[in-house]
Every structure is written in C-alpha cells, then in structure tokens.
Structure 1
Amino acid sequence: MDPLNDVLAVLDMRSAQFARLEATGAWAISFLGYQHIKLGAVLDGACWVETEGERPVRVADGDCYLLGNGRPYRLSSDPAVPAQPSSDFFAGFVEGSTVRVGPSDSHPDAVVVGCGFHLDTANAAVLLDVLPPLVHVPAASEEADAIRTALNMLRKETATTEVGSLLIVERLAHIVLVQVLRSHIAAQGPTGQAWLTALADPAIATALGLIHETPAHPWTVAELAAKAGMSRSHLAARFSELVGTPPLEYLATWRIRSAARELRSGNRTIASIAAQYGYNSDSAFSHAFKRVTGMAPGRYRRQARLASSSS
C-alpha cells in the first residue's frame, strides 16, 4: 500500500508544458500563477525564486523547488532586478525547446528546467491545500541524494533533440516530483498537521493505505485501529490531529474521489459506480458526490470529458 501513490493516481496527475531556461547577466522574469503545481530544478548556476507574498529563496545547482496554490512567481538573477513578463520571452514557445535570456554566446549563469502538472480540478484541493507556496529541496540536503541521478539525466535530455527526449523528460519530471514530495514529508515529519505529512507516522499511514485500498469496505474506527496496532481512541485522536479530519469522514470523502476517477476514465453507469463504493441508491451517491465536488455525478462526467477533448 502506498497512500501517496493512491492520491496522485486519483488526482489524475498529468505533466503539462515543459521548458528549459538559460539565462545570463542581470535578468528577471515574472510568471502568472500556474493553475496547479509547477516543478523546477536548477541544472547549473544559481538564481532566485520568489512567490507572491513570500521572501525570495536562492536556488543553486542541484536544488529543486515546487510551487503550488497558483500564486504568481518570479525567477531572477537578483530580486532587485525589475522583472519582465514571461510572455516577452515565451512567445511562440515550442514545448521542449530552450528559452535564452541575455547574451547567447556566453556560458549561462543559470540553467533552470520547469514542468507544470495538471490535476483533476474537482479534487485538486486534496494536494494543493496541504502544500506551502514553495517547497525547496537544497542539493546539500540528505533527501536530495535520491534526486541527483534524475537531475543528471534531465541535464542531458533537456539539452538534446534526440528522438524520445520529451518522453524521457516527462518520466523524469514525475520521478523528481515524487522525490520532492517525499523530501517535504521527511522534513515536516508527523507534525505537519496535514494528510501529506501524516504519511510519516507509520500507524496513520497504515490506516490511510487501508482506506485507499478498499474504500467500499464498511470500515469502523475500531477495525482500522486494530489493523494499525493502536487503540480506538488513540487512532481517532491521532488521525484527526495529523490528517485534519476524523477517519470515517476521510473515508467518505475518499470514496467520492475514487468514484470521480471512475467517472472520468470509463463509460460505466453512474449506478454501478455508486454501488462499487458502497452507496445503495443513486440519490445518496449524488448527494455525497455533490457535497465533495460541488456538482452532480452526471455533470462532473460531462465536464471531465469536455476538458479532456479540448486538451
């Protein structure tokens, strides 16, 4: 059981546009907030990353960062340099190509790669609400060791136009993303008071894994506690403290998020999906679905299909 993998799967995480930036001299670029998550990695040199309302953070060779919550942000050689909008540099951009800022005949002072990740909009809050505006993983940190190999491959693949390079980069970006999330979990420990950092607590991670693996099972707090090796009262208190919601409320929400994935990915009837996740009537399922996602199952399916066809 891997609760983190379960959540990423339910969120239908897909990589979006990928870019490599090479910059020289004094420069600063402002970006509009990305709708969901933006992953960045410094492959050479150093620069500053700053999200709206937060202090600038210096990122150097081997560092990774994750931007969430859709805030505008900027990259620069120095926070004092006035920024130009990204549209000035990325007009006509082709995915996988390199954008150069400053003189192109000298070695760049910074090489940064970035990749956006799109989540299912109705469920995106599951991850976005528990991430800070900026997650920074320095190259010198213990957690960065596992990322280093992937970054070395990214350095090579983003500098070439060989067949299949974009596919390789996409897979590497997913690997780096998971490693960055792991690093964030490790850095916060089981005190972050959000389900993501609750994964650092073995017993609560076990309970989450059981709920994710068999959401239709009529779990009770007592049964989850026995499986996790805790008393009923201890599990209920610890789960609520770390995850932010009681176990059975989390279960009810997870059932709907799992059902939403079924609605997006297949042609099964809404009634059969409702039954799969423990709902005895369409009306009960529709009411629960609307409470979690803000829309009825049929409307959700239609909107998901429309979004898929237009992407």
Structure 2
Amino acid sequence: MDVLSDLLRRARAGDALVRRLVQRPPWALTFADATALTVVATLGGHAVVRLDEADAAPVALAAGDIALITAVGEYTIADNASTPAQVVIRQGRKYHADSGDPVEREGWNLAPRTYGDGLPGATVMLRGAYELHGDVGGRILAMLPPVAVVPAGPRTGGALDLLAAEVGRDEPGQDAVLHRLLDLVLVLALRAWCARPGSDPPSWYGALADPAVGEALRLMHGDPARRWTIASLAAEVGMSRAAFAARFTGLVGEPPLTYLTGWRMTLAADLLRDTDATVAAVGREVGYEDAFAFSVAFKRARGVSPSSWRRGTG
C-alpha cells in the first residue's frame, strides 16, 4: 500500500459526513465545531471561506473549486466576505445566529442530505467532513495549510459531478457510494494541491515518484514491524546499499531507518492511546521484540515513556 493510502486508511476515525447546501445570496453558515478536515466544493455560483482568526483573509471559491479546510475551531462559508452569519451549526444541529433558536426542519431540508432554500440563483455547495484520528491523522493535516484551494479542473470536476449526482439520492448502499466518492474527491484534491507551484508538501510525498524510494516507503508502510535494514531495503529495490541510502536521504530528507523509526513511533502513539495492549505488545506490533528497547526509543521520540503517553501526561 502506498504511503498516502496508508495514512488515509489508518487516520480515519469514522465515515465522513456528506451534505449539499443550496443557498441564495445573501447567506452565511458558521460551523462552530469543525472536524479536523473538511472538503468544501462549489458546484455552482461562488463562495468565500472565513476562518475564526482575526488576521485570516477570506478565501474565495469559484464554481468547481475545492477547499480543504484543516483549521481547528470555527469557520464560516458565505456568499460574501461581509455577510454576517445567519445559521450556526453546532454538534450537527442548526441554530439561528441572531437568536440562538433551533432552525425548524421544515423549509430547510430540500432532499436527502440537501439543505437550504433552493431558490433560483442559489449557490450549490458540497461539504464533506472527516474525523481524522491521532498522530497518523496529524501527518495528513501537516500536508496542508488552514485552507488549501484547488482550482476547478477536469479530473476533480469529473469526480465532483459523480458525487453531486449521488448525494441527493437515497438508495440501497448510498452511504457506501458517497463515502467512496468523497474519498476520490479528497485524494484528487490532495494530489492537485501538492502538484501546484508554491505548495510545500512533505518531502516523502515528492519521493513517492521515485521508483526505488517510493517502493521502499511502500514496503516500510506495508510491514513496519519487519526487521528492516538499509541493506534489506536496498536489495528489495535493486540498488546498492550506499546508493540507496544516499538517494532516500536526499529525497525524503532523512535516512531510511530514521524515517522508519518515526513512522513506528507514530503508530505506537496511536496504539497506546486507542488500545489496551500492553507496552510490550505495542512494541512488538511496531517492530521491537524488547520492551525496554521500545520504551527507550519511544521516550527519545516523544519525550515521555509509553506509559505516561497512554495516561495522557505527555
């Protein structure tokens, strides 16, 4: 499994929530408890994204654009940078921004997973909210700024058309279809963002394009507990030990075994928090037969012992 696919698989805490919003200007929706990663796409019309930060400039979205929002906390999607919030969405419920009263369902629900006024001239948006999990999720979030805008393009446009066609339906297996289509939109948007001039993706992402280094990364993610050495990795990718080590370090920014140790500690951190497995069992899961050696490596990487990390005191 390639690195990005592995991160997305391990990071997801649950299925994403997919909704369509249909609003005629002026409109503004505030999301008070945003998830770690939100995908917002403008299907028709235009919109802006406003972060709950004093120095954050509004980000404009044209038809077909996709915004990946990683800001923790509150943000607003609106027709204009100056439109005050009309509805606040908190814990999945909608409230009038001025009064705080709940929004009546009648007149708001237009179709399955579709909300708004549905009047002529409305902007149509898709929104998918991901709950990302733990230290692995943090690696995905680190790829992106608070708001990353991917301009409309043929590849993302085709995926958005499919998602838009399905979101209002209510047929057997609909949730599975929507989740997979949203994943497709997310991956295509991540690819497009990382390929843009001026973007700053992590070094490992660029290294995936190298046949040898990309394969080595795939091998380490596919079997992190294996007793990998530089020699064994080099043999797997058909290079000499010295040439492989130099190429990997040059492209990824750190030596192969340093990268492997960091990935193992990321996995271990989530296992310690999410499972009742003993410290020794977690160590074995990430490639350490000796519990003491694992504890030393973990403390070196995280600054606290595995037990302290599990207790949340790290």
The TM tier, using the shorter chain, reads 0.7 to 0.9
Confirm whether residue 247 of structure 1 aligns to residue 256 of structure 2: yes
Counterpart pick for 2:140 among 110, 114, 127: 127
Q: Deviations over 1:54-79 (max 9, x none)?
A: 44333233322211142643222121
Over 3 Å counting, the alpha-carbon distance change for 1:13 and 1:234 in structure 2 is farther
**Superposition map of 1:30-45 within 5 A:** 30-32=30-32, 34-45=34-45
Judge conservation of contact 1:10–1:258 (CA < 8 Å) in 2: no
In structure 2, the gaps of 5 or more residues are: 96-101
| Superposed CA offset, 1:93-123 (max 9, x none) | 89963331xxx36225211111111122243
1:146-187 Cα deviation digits (max 9, x unpaired)? x33432232222223444433322221122112212222333
Distance 1:166 1:192, change over 3 A: closer
CA distance in 1, matches of 2:62, 2:198: 25
* Matched position secondary structure for 1:124: helix
Letter aligned with residue 121 of structure 1: G
What is the aligned counterpart of 2:94 among 90, 110, 118?
90
- Could you tell me the TM-score, scaled by structure 2's length? 0.75
Distance 1:163 1:212, change over 3 A: closer
In structure 2, the residue matched to 1:307 is none
Q: What amino acid maps onto 1:6 in structure 2? A: D
Deviation of 1:234 (Å): 6.0
Q: CA deviation at 1:251?
A: 0.5
Q: Tell me which residue corresponds to 1:7.
A: 7
Partners of 1:27 and 1:43 in 2: CA distance: 16
The answer on whether the counterparts of 2:194 and 2:200 sit within 8 Å (CA) in structure 1 is: no
Structure 1, unpaired ranges of 5+: 304-311
CA distance in 2, matches of 1:271, 1:243: 30
| CA pair 63-258 structure 1, distance change in 2 beyond 3 A | same
1:293 Cα shift?
Answer: 6.2
Query: What is the identity, as a one-letter code, of the residue corresponding to 1:81?
Result: T
Distance (whole Å) between structure 2 residues aligned to residue 236 and residue 184 of structure 1: 29
Distance of 1:13 and 1:179 partners within structure 2? 21
- Equivalent residue for 1:115? 128
Q: Structure 1 vs Structure 2: percent identity of aligned residues?
A: 36
Residue 309 of structure 1: aligned partner? none
Contact 2:45 2:123 in 1 (8 A): yes
Aligned pair count reads 296
Q: Which amino acid aligns with 1:131?
A: L
Q: Equivalences for 1:190-209 in 2 at 5 Å?
A: 192-209=201-218
1:275 aligned to which of 261, 270, 284 = 284
Paired residues of 1:71 and 1:133 also in contact (CA < 8 A): no
Check whether the contact 1:191–1:197 (CA below 8 A) recurs between aligned residues.
no
> How far 1:135 sits from its partner (Å)?
2.2
Structure 1 residue identity aligned to 2:89: S
Separation in structure 1 between the aligned mates of residue 289 and residue 247 of structure 2, nearest angstrom = 31
C-alpha separation between the residues in 1 aligned to 2:303 and 2:292? 15
| Partner secondary structure for residue 253 of structure 1 | helix
User: In structure 2, do the counterparts of structure 1 residues 107 and 288 end up closer, same or farther at CA, with 3 Å as the change threshold?
Assistant: farther
**Greater percentage in helix:** 1
Letter paired with 1:98: T
Q: Which residue of 2 aligns with 1:64?
A: 66
CA distance in 2, matches of 1:239, 1:33: 40
Q: Take 2:132 and 2:118, find their aligned partners in 1: how far apart are those partners?
A: 39
Superposition CA RMSD, Å = 3.7
Instruction: Give the direction of change, closer, same or farther, for the CA distance of 1:163–1:278 in structure 2 (3 Å limit).
Output: closer
- Taking structure 1 as the reference length, what is the TM-score of the superposition? 0.76
SS of structure 1 residue aligned to 2:46: strand
